Amino acid sequence: MRGKLIALITIAAFTSGCFGYNRSAKRWSYVGNTLLILGGGGVIATDLTAAEPEKGLTTTAAKPYDPPFSGVMLAGVMLVAAGLFGIVFNATRPIVKSSR
């Protein structure tokens, strides 16, 4: 269940535009980028505080692979990185004057 929620948040984050072209769009993109950072931080915190299942002691030589970090952690880091990139990109992008 948790993996499906993380995948949904990641898809929503990367399909939504986080780059503004005028003043109003830049403001909303900063909101979107902040939500990406907060969501990624929440995912990372959830992964770090989640209880790990008990691993039984085995007497055999073959032990299961224990990765240094999980896919949930990777998704959280990607969300935070996308939010930070969006903020930097918006800050350095010139404002386009539209004729509305």
pLDDT digits (tens, 9 = 90+) for 15-73: 554 667 788 888 888 888 899 899 999 999 998 888 666 565 555 567 777 777 788 88
Give the pLDDT score at 42: 93
Q: What's the one-letter identity of residue 32?
A: G
Question: What's the rounded Cα separation, in Å, for the pair 13 and 86?
Answer: 11
- Do residues 26 and 20 touch, judged by C-beta distance below 8 A? yes
Could you tell me which residue, 1 or 56, shows the higher pLDDT? 1
Kindly tell me the burial class for residue 53, based on how many C-beta atoms sit within 10 Å of its own C-beta (0-12, 13-18, 19 or more). exposed
Q: What's the one-letter identity of residue 86?
A: G
Extents of the domains making up the chain:
9-49+69-92
Give the pLDDT score at 67: 75
Within 13 Å and on the Cβ side, how many CA atoms surround 65?
4
pTM: 0.68
Give the pLDDT score at 1: 66
- The four Cα atoms 21, 26, 29, 30 give a dihedral, to 10 degrees, of 150
The packing angle between helices 2-15 and 23-49, to 10°, is: 160
